[in-house]
Amino acid sequence: MMTRYDTNAIEPKWQKVWLDKGCFEASEESDKERFYALVEFPYPSGVGLHIGHPRPYTGMDVLARARRMQGYNVLFPIGWDAFGLPAENYAIKNNIHPAEVVRRNVERFRGQIRRLGLSFDPAREVNTTDPEYYKWTQWIFLKMVEKGLAYKAEMPVNWCPSCKCVLANEEVVGGLCERCEAPAEHRDKSQWMLRITRYAQRLLDDLELCDFPARVAAQQRNWIGRSEGAEILFPIAGTDETLRVYTTRPDTVFGATYMVISPEHPLVDKCPPKNAEEAAAYRAAAARKSDFERTELAKDKTGVRLEGISAVNPATGGEIPVYISDYVLMSYGTGAIMAVPGHDTRDWDFAKAFGLPIVEVVKGGDVTKEAYTDTETGTMVNSGFLNGLEVEDAKKAVAEWLEREGLGEPKVRYKLRDWVFARQRYWGEPIPIVHCPACGMVPLPEEDLPLRLPEVQNYKPSDTGESPLAAISEWVNTVCPRCGVPAKRETDTMPQWAGSSWYFLRYTDPNNPGEPASKEALRRWMPVDWYNGGMEHTTLHLLYSRFWHKFLYDVGVVEQPEPYKKRTSHGFILGSDGTKISKSKGNGMDPDEVVNTYGADTLRLTILFIGDFEKGCRWSEQIIKGCRRFLERVWAAAHSPFASSVPETKLHQTIQKVSGDIEGMKFNTAIAAMMSLLNEMEKGCSKADMLLFLRLLSPFAPHICEELWALLGGKGLCCEAGWPEHDPAKTVEDTVELAVQINGKLRGTVTVPRGCPDGEAAAAALQTEKIAAAAAGRSPDKTIVVPDRLVNLIFR
RNA sequence: GCGGACAUGGUGGAAUGGCAGACACGUUGGUCUUAGGAGCCAAUGGGCAACCGUCCGGGUUCAAGUCCCGGUGUCCGCACCA
């Protein structure tokens, strides 16, 4: 008598067994080959696990489970990236301490994750808000201070008026705060910065060492934004000042008919123009604009000429006017440009608006009509000693000339900016620095770490740009660790990205009290073999953590230059209406509800079967039913009387397909292959077939497989059984059906023995009725035979 | 503007240059049922057909969804980056 497939009974039962037996715990003793599979650890928010989590987790869980069955010693950990604004905001709103909020949320997340049957290592959780963890985050920061990689500087930064804290460049998306979408403002603030720019070239070069998807590597390359050019000095006529510009096209210097400096450029103060008031007004207006307004809205060129100021074009010797305009950014290059309106659309627009001369220096276009920018190649004109040279040669000639005359030098620039590494909020790692009136900034000694967050009553942010910690006088006021005089603590905290920049190292040795992780553990587990995560972190966490890892490599903590061998990225699941899933729209699903109704195994199958793992897809209620139906049929088949075996070929083909598809994250086609095999098995299969099938399915739908494995008397646990191996010889049939084409069009098929010689195949094809009729007694002019695939008969 | 990806039935999606539409959903018909929005069986790209079919137009090839050239459209990332 077949029992009902009752997921609510089966699933918790096996989850407990797995946990009690420690099935998912990585071993430090095992001499099996190791495999480190990593997913991005979640931010444990108040609303619990959401739709975004199960897909990457399940995908990597399939891989981790398959690897264990394949005999690897697998590290597949999870943790909690629990610092950050949402916990703090939630805490403020509900008047609960953030630490308590985190404790509750983590508990909920842990339970939800377990209910999905995810095989995360229960013995290696990390939590970025645990002082024993952030002690090491602080320790790494101090190492950076020591090496001059962390510094404090007064500079214009992005300020989110809604979050009330500064933002890193990477956190500003289209001029808006990445988190709350408020327009980011400019503020001049003294900030802790990390010198990620020092690693720009290595972060770029070492992409070679990383097996990243093309789009990830391209995006990082783009973000680092390397460009080659030159700096050229333009003297300011009648003064000792020079204007230093950066250009990628020094060869066009003869076409520079005016100059533009950014409104923030210091030259305006050094050389006051005659129209100082007008210039000041323009600068003030520019300062008021947000980045959003400056870059997104104001594409029309505006500016003010600095009257009485002119620069000397070192190539022509001619005097050219100088303008301030907000289309030139202080944050890139030198904040000043030589404008070559003939060959740059922005300069052309500006020149037209202000009636400035436009000179053609590369032949090809008509610069009176528009800027001619197709100048990768071409011949120089109107360019003195460069005339007649090809662009490529002109570049070399100009470079030599600049160096010879001391007028400039070749220069490599990056778009990458240093990383603003301070937040004016409570819920983050305190920056372990003391400001001493005598000694200046003094790092806390290592033995004073962790520097714990103080218990406070009010952790609301202020509008003044100061952290709430600044109001806790008993915490702020301390003594200088160096000289002992009264001093004040740094009150800013680290950004959310700090803890996640090295968490994958801590997993290798999560409870080590004396170092981030032991050398042995790091040697055993690093680098991460396979890291799956979201595209949205490509220029945030993924770049940041590569940077930290390189730093830790330089100071001898880790032994490899790159942390991740292989990176994959899952596509997002959108709502049934094609938009982002949200509870209020009711267009999606709640993982808990789906587990309650259909079971975790069905949910796991559904989110993998719904489409290509690496592409986005829409959620659909329909697919769930199909997956549940499939599991019902597996259940029924395992309870049916066994009979003769399924064809061996089918079995071995499926093993091969599923094994290969797991490696390629083609989970949808792996599941399709198993559905297809089940269709075959329903016609009759042996118990051995079923046991094999269960092993194949087990990484995808582990609970039902475990239950049926036990029912059928499988040895041990299904999740610990060996992974089935296919015999390549058994994946092929003895006979094959050849497609028969006439002039490339399919006209029939013919069955021949495998490996049948070309001549025989062609003869067999010609003997089939349809083909013989079409041939009408003629013999083909040409015959193409693709062994075991097709015969193409060509009649002219 | 720069960089990346993509375009296949009613739907989600499969196809190392070699039988397009695997696998599922849906639909239709049948069956079993007091009942069926459950299960099972069958059919299902279009067309009566010859044939025609993978966004559009060319090309390479015995053979193109797949490769090449030129368009169109969609999505993603970056962007007055000099």
CA gap A528, A37 in Å, rounded: 7
At A583 the pLDDT is 61
- Give pLDDT tens digits for A703-722: 999 999 999 999 999 999 99
Q: Check whether A650 has a pLDDT greater than 60.
A: yes
How much is the average pLDDT of A15-42? Answer: 96
Tell me the CA distances in angstroms from A377 to A251, A371, A389, one per residue in order: 12, 15, 10
Q: How confident is the model at residue A112 (pLDDT cuts 50, 70, 90)?
A: very high
Q: Check whether A575 has a pLDDT greater than 80.
A: no
CA gap A588, A581 in Å, rounded: 5
Our measurement of CA A622 to C1' B11, in angstroms, reads 10
Parallel, antiparallel, or unpaired for β A433-436 and A440-443? antiparallel
CA gap A130, A122 in Å, rounded: 17
CA gap A701, A65 in Å, rounded: 11
Which residue has the least CA–C1' distance to nucleotide B25?
A622
At A187 the pLDDT is 81
Is A158 or A281 the better-scoring residue by pLDDT? Answer: A281
Q: How confident is the model at residue A680 (pLDDT cuts 50, 70, 90)?
A: very high
A570 touches strand B (CB under 7 A): no
User: Nucleic chain B: which protein residues 401-460 of A have CB below 7 A from it?
Assistant: 413, 415
At A166 the pLDDT is 87
A679 touches strand B (CB under 7 A): yes
How much is the average pLDDT of A205-216? Answer: 90
A787 touches strand B (CB under 7 A): no
Which residue has the least CA–C1' distance to nucleotide B14?
A669
Our measurement of CA A591 to C1' B39, in angstroms, reads 27
A618 touches strand B (CB under 7 A): yes
Parallel, antiparallel, or unpaired for β A172-173 and A34-39? unpaired
Nucleotide nearest to A417 (CA to C1'): B81
Our measurement of CA A742 to C1' B16, in angstroms, reads 24
At A192 the pLDDT is 94
Our measurement of CA A676 to C1' B43, in angstroms, reads 19
A773 touches strand B (CB under 7 A): no
Our measurement of CA A478 to C1' B23, in angstroms, reads 67
Nucleotide nearest to A414 (CA to C1'): B81
A350 touches strand B (CB under 7 A): no
How much is the average pLDDT of A673-677? Answer: 96
User: Nucleic chain B: which protein residues 516-545 of A have CB below 7 A from it?
Assistant: 535, 538-539
Our measurement of CA A392 to C1' B61, in angstroms, reads 39
A328 touches strand B (CB under 7 A): yes
| 3-state class (DSSP) for residue A632 | helix
Nucleotide nearest to A170 (CA to C1'): B78
- Give pLDDT tens digits for A450-475: 999 998 777 777 777 788 888 888 99
Least confident of A59-68, A151-160, A283-292, A528-537: A283-292
A247 touches strand B (CB under 7 A): yes
Q: Check whether A580 has a pLDDT greater than 80.
A: no
Nucleotide nearest to A295 (CA to C1'): B80
Our measurement of CA A421 to C1' B1, in angstroms, reads 32
Q: How confident is the model at residue A146 (pLDDT cuts 50, 70, 90)?
A: very high
At A290 the pLDDT is 67
A638, A780, A659: which is closest to A723 by C-alpha? Answer: A659
Of chain A, the percentage scoring pLDDT greater than 70 comes to 97
Residue A552 · residue A140 · CB < 8 Å: yes
Our measurement of CA A677 to C1' B78, in angstroms, reads 46
Burial zone of A116 (CB within 10 Å; 0-12 exposed, 13-18 middle, 19+ buried): buried
Q: How confident is the model at residue A155 (pLDDT cuts 50, 70, 90)?
A: confident
A289 touches strand B (CB under 7 A): no
Q: How confident is the model at residue A759 (pLDDT cuts 50, 70, 90)?
A: confident
Our measurement of CA A712 to C1' B50, in angstroms, reads 56
Q: Check whether A348 has a pLDDT greater than 80.
A: yes
Our measurement of CA A795 to C1' B57, in angstroms, reads 28
Nucleotide nearest to A630 (CA to C1'): B24
Our measurement of CA A91 to C1' B66, in angstroms, reads 55
At A321 the pLDDT is 96
Other beta carbons within 10 Å of A212: 22
Our measurement of CA A623 to C1' B45, in angstroms, reads 22
Nucleotide nearest to A632 (CA to C1'): B39
Residue A580 · residue A537 · CB < 8 Å: no
Q: Check whether A796 has a pLDDT greater than 80.
A: no
Least confident of A31-35, A289-293, A383-387: A289-293
Residue in the structure block whose two tokens are 């030198």 = A334
CA gap A382, A380 in Å, rounded: 7
At A716 the pLDDT is 96
A323 touches strand B (CB under 7 A): no
Q: How confident is the model at residue A751 (pLDDT cuts 50, 70, 90)?
A: confident
A30, A37, A31, A68: which is closest to A528 by C-alpha? Answer: A37
Our measurement of CA A215 to C1' B73, in angstroms, reads 21
Nucleotide nearest to A297 (CA to C1'): B80
How much is the average pLDDT of A231-248? Answer: 94
At A545 the pLDDT is 97
A343 touches strand B (CB under 7 A): no
A175 touches strand B (CB under 7 A): no
In the sheet that holds A227-235, the strands lie side by side as A242-247, A227-235, A408-413
Our measurement of CA A713 to C1' B35, in angstroms, reads 40
Nucleotide nearest to A301 (CA to C1'): B80
A506 touches strand B (CB under 7 A): no
A754 touches strand B (CB under 7 A): no
A669 touches strand B (CB under 7 A): yes
A623 touches strand B (CB under 7 A): yes
Nucleotide nearest to A738 (CA to C1'): B19
Q: How confident is the model at residue A616 (pLDDT cuts 50, 70, 90)?
A: confident
User: Nucleic chain B: which protein residues 254-283 of A have CB below 7 A from it?
Assistant: 262
Tokens of residue A106, six digits = 């983590």
Least confident of A314-318, A424-428, A503-507: A424-428
Q: How many residues does chain A have?
A: 796
Residue A286 · residue A263 · CB < 8 Å: yes
How much is the average pLDDT of A361-383? Answer: 89
Least confident of A126-135, A209-218, A399-408: A209-218
At A400 the pLDDT is 94
Q: Check whether A662 has a pLDDT greater than 90.
A: yes
Tell me the CA distances in angstroms from A522 to A509, A510, A558, one per residue in order: 8, 11, 7
A572 touches strand B (CB under 7 A): no
Nucleotide nearest to A214 (CA to C1'): B4
Q: What would the 3-class secondary structure string for A78-132 be?
A: CEECCCCHHHHHHHHHHCCCHHHHHHHHHHHHHHHHHHCCCCCCCCCCEECCCHH
- Give pLDDT tens digits for A288-316: 776 666 665 556 788 999 999 999 999 99
Nucleotides in B strand less than 7 A from protein CB = 2-5, 11-16, 18-20, 22-26, 39-41, 52, 62-64, 75-82
At A295 the pLDDT is 64
Q: What is the mean pLDDT of chain A?
A: 91
